[in-house]
Amino acid sequence: MLTPISGRQHALLVLIIALIAATVALGIAAWSHDGWRPEILLGAGVLGTTAAMVAAWVPFAQMQQEPSAPPTVVGLEAGHRIEVRVRDIVESAMDPIITVDENQCIVLFNTAAENAFLWSREAMLGQPLDKLIPAQFQAAHRAHIRHFGETGTTSRKLGHQTVLAAIRADGTEFPVEASISQHVEDHRKFFTVILRDVSERLQTESMLVRSEARLQGILDSAMDSIIIADTNQIIVLFNAAAEAMFGCPRETAVGMPLTELMPTHARAHHPDHVRRFGEDGTVSRRMGGLRTVTGRRHDNGLEFPIDASISQLTDSGAKFYTAILRDVSARARSEADLRQSKEDLQKLSAAADLAGEQQKNRIARELHDELGQALTMLQMDVAWCREKMPAAEASLAQRLDRMAALLGVTVAATRRIAADLRPLLLDDLGLVPAVEWLVENFMQRAGIPCELAISNPGMQVPEAHSTAVFRVVQEALTNITKHADAKHVEVAINLDSSAIMVSVHDNGKGFDQNDPRKAGSFGLIGLRERAYLLGGHAAVNSERGKGTVIEVLLPIAKAAEKS
């Protein structure tokens, strides 16, 4: 026989129904808030489990009572225990839980609600729900709850996709999300609202929006193009500079394969390059290395050179690649113009040097052949006059002697000047005798010992190389005489079929290579230019107090190809 339901058992039944309704409301709230919210699902699970436990506990408790106890007393005690447990669960909930009757007067106000609204439970029980709602929203909120009660829907989220406003005891308003459920008890309708203060979340979202806006502003104000692509190399970000560089609107570029901005010949290999970069763990690097990377405009297909660097990052398990690009078309044109200008200047310098050597050779021969011969004949005439002059003409004899001496000095100076311009030995006998004469002349003039070592002295050397080697040694010895204050000099010339190596080493005071070059000093520059014109290079190494070493390498085969 069924035991009649007491008033307390009826209350427990209402609590069970309320818990089930709250569980459903939390489940709907979890689903409707941008997908399943774990924390709301957890609350729904707790309440649902509690409802099931309460429902199962009632018959179990009745079965466990002693036969001598009256059934109504057993039911009251079990119901009281369940009521206490349910109240504890509601009070321990982290979200505010408020229940109102059909007149929208508060009948339940948990501890979380006290903390959120700064009202005590005693002050709010029996008060209208409007007391927790800003005045401008009260009428709409009452109408909303009435309409919800008329629909018969068990539960749903309040405000749908909008955030509701609540007001605390101190008058401050704050945003909340809410879900509402309804149940009928003793022919009376009750509405239970579960709330959540979303102030911090909205503040975080606002900060995120502002941060994204600032980031977008920075990206759009950047002078370099910035492109971000995902793992599949699909463009996900395209700044304003990239739009201008590639002639492609952002709306078109986003979602487009990155290879659309590359020349056709580079598209096949680029994905593999990026994939290997993603696998090797390098955070960032310059693309292309020493090669020029080429981009392609989307609007007209024109190709242009770019400098590019690439970096990678992983966000939520997905990998993204960021490329920073710079159009270097103007720089490439300037570099090409500079190279051409340098080549033109070097050709001009080579032509000027050749013309200078030819001019020196002509003047040297004229001094030697014409002026030298004329002076020699004049010396012979003075000597003949001296022999034929009468012995009584002592004053005339002295004058002739002075003329002879002056002519001797003039002839010597003429030969020295001609040799300095271009020694005839270089053209008549070759490089080795000319360098030997140069070293001997240096020792006589400067008084500094100099050792000369020449390998393979019988080898035939091209005329341009002979002139270059002679001038290098001449310039180096001249610098030593003027600046080095050296006590010993070594000159070494290594001749073979492929190259000529010239080395001049002194033990003088040396100099600091970082010191600025003296105005009007072009000696070392001339050495480098002579070497470069023949396809070689020159190196100068010096330290204060440790002397100076000049080394010049002249490849014979390369120079022959150039000529």
Over residues 462-472, the pLDDT tens digits come to: 888 888 888 88
Cβ-contact 178, 159 below 8 angstroms: yes
pLDDT tops 80 at residue 384 = yes
Does position 75 have pLDDT exceeding 80, yes or no?
A: no
Highest mean pLDDT among 14-23, 35-44, 53-62, 399-408: 399-408
Looking at per-residue pLDDT, the higher value among 5 and 456 belongs to 456
Res 201: pLDDT: 87
**Does residue 172 have a pLDDT over 80?**
yes
**Token pair for residue 304?**
């242009």
Give the mean model confidence (pLDDT) for residues 427-437: 86
Q: Of 317-321, 425-429, 547-551, which one has max mean pLDDT?
A: 547-551
pLDDT over 90 for what percent of the chain?
Answer: 23
Lowest-confidence pick of 198-212, 315-329, 383-397, 493-507 = 383-397
**Average pLDDT along the chain:** 79
Please answer whether residues 93 and 179 qualify as being in contact, where contact means their C-beta atoms are separated by less than 8 angstroms.
no
Q: What value does the mean pLDDT take over residues 223-234?
A: 90
Q: Is the pLDDT of residue 42 over 70?
A: no
What does 358-419 look like in DSSP terms, one character per residue? HHHHHHHHIIIIIIHHHHHHHHHHHHHHHHHS-TT-HHHHHHHHHHHHHHHHHHHHHHHHHH
Between the alpha carbon of residue 160 and those of residues 28, 98, 206, 348, 533, the distances in Å are 11, 19, 20, 83, 82
Q: Has residue 340 got a pLDDT over 90?
A: no
- The DSSP code sequence of 288-341 is STTSPEEEE-TTT--EEEEEEEEEEEEETTEEEEEEEEEE-HHHHHHHHHHHHH
The mean pLDDT value for 300-329 works out to 88
The answer to whether 545 touches 509, Cβ cutoff 8 Å, is yes
Which of 73-82, 90-99, 283-292, 525-534 is modeled with the greatest confidence?
90-99
pLDDT of residue 41 exceeding 70, the answer is no
Amino acid, res. 322:
T
Q: What is the pLDDT of residue 559?
A: 47
